Amino acid sequence: MIMASPLEIALVGAGGKMGMRISDNLQRTGHVVHYSENSPAAQRRVVEAGRQLSDPDTAVRDADVVILAVPDIALGVVSQAVVPLLRPDAIVLTLDPAAAYAGVLHKRDDVHYAVAHPCHPSVFLERSTPEEYADSFGGVAAPQDVVAAFESDAPARREIAETIIRIMYGPVIDVHWVTVKQLAVLEPTLVETVACMVGDLLREALAETVNTVGVPEPAARAMLYGHVQVALSNTLRGANPFSDACRIAMDYGHETIIRTDWKKIFDDSELDRVIARMLRLESVES
């Protein structure tokens, strides 16, 4: 999508990890970008990157889109300071759904709220260049999808939001629009509670194999890394069937490692509980 005229964008938290990643992509466009940051160390990173810092109050007042690239636990306080200053019809864009789902963002009826989270380059992505192979996080060379939510019935404003989303997370294959709750189920439940936890379990299992059993680390890593690829291809894409012996070992793993009631993590009450823990909001917990 290409807008008829440049947009005015304010990036709050421009010197953080995601703020710097987003800034790199925004800086290459013809849009007017104001970079705001309150941490002295992060301010130095912004300046060292060749970008000029803006006073936050000034930066957001005339912005078409205000991106809040700040930690989840700070979004309530930051939005209370920023949102009252915005012009009507502005778009507030956050990077994670937790705060939006928990209702901690400062609300105005004449402001639009969006949240967009990168999927990161797929494990099944067909890469062809060294730059794409090196970009495991996304936003540099390897294309990725984005899942986003938009809380207003305003197609033109959503189109503007998508324009900025495609730039800040680019190169983007597609933007998938869902509800805020659906995005919260995807992140944290599906990808953090499950997928990232499984990744950490693999790390622990590798360490146990090497440090306790005594298998040479290169051999253990080679065996694990190759079989992770096969396991994901077989289970998520149906590439090849597992052997009967493997199925027996998989069943033993389920019985030994996985709790029988694990699917309760998809209950609304459990989603509320984990997000309350993430945001340190005890009042949201049930």
Q: How far apart are CA 145 and CA 170, in angstroms?
A: 9
**Tell me: the pLDDT tens digits for 1-23?**
445 589 999 999 999 999 999 99
Confidence band of 210 (pLDDT split at 50, 70, 90): very high
CB atoms within 10 A of CB 272: 17
Residue 285, pLDDT above cutoff 90? no
Least reliable range by pLDDT among 232-241, 258-267, 274-283: 274-283
Confidence band of 148 (pLDDT split at 50, 70, 90): very high
Percent of the chain past pLDDT 90, that is, above it, reads 94
**Tell me: the pLDDT tens digits for 159-196?**
999 999 999 999 999 999 999 999 999 999 999 999 99
Entry pTM:
0.92
Q: What pLDDT sits at residue 81?
A: 95
- Mean pLDDT for 30-56 is 95
Q: Which among 75, 59, 64, 63 is positioned nearest to 18, based on CA atoms?
A: 75
Tokens of 257: 């490692």
Residue pointed to by tokens 């077989």: 234
Confidence band of 56 (pLDDT split at 50, 70, 90): confident
Helix residue ranges, H only, the chain: 17-26, 40-48, 56-61, 75-82, 98-102, 130-134, 155-168, 180-184, 197-208, 217-237, 244-257, 268-279
Per residue, the 3-state secondary structure of 242-269, as one string, reads CCHHHHHHHHHHHHHHCCCCHHHHHCHH
Strand partners, 175: 146
Q: What pLDDT sits at residue 284?
A: 43
Q: What pLDDT sits at residue 248?
A: 98
Percent of the chain past pLDDT 70, that is, above it, reads 97
Q: What pLDDT sits at residue 263?
A: 97
In angstroms, the Cα distances linking 134 to 130, 137, 139, 158, 227 are: 6, 9, 11, 32, 21
CB atoms within 10 A of CB 76: 16
Q: What pLDDT sits at residue 282?
A: 60
3-state class of 10 per DSSP? strand
Confidence band of 286 (pLDDT split at 50, 70, 90): very low
Distance from chain centroid for Cα 262: 24
**Tell me: the pLDDT tens digits for 83-111?**
999 999 999 999 999 999 999 999 999 99
**Tell me: the pLDDT tens digits for 119-141?**
999 999 999 999 999 999 999 99
Averaged pLDDT score across all residues of the chain: 95
Q: What pLDDT sits at residue 68?
A: 98
Q: What pLDDT sits at residue 5?
A: 82
Burial tier of 155 (Cβ tally within 10 Å: 0-12, 13-18, 19+): exposed
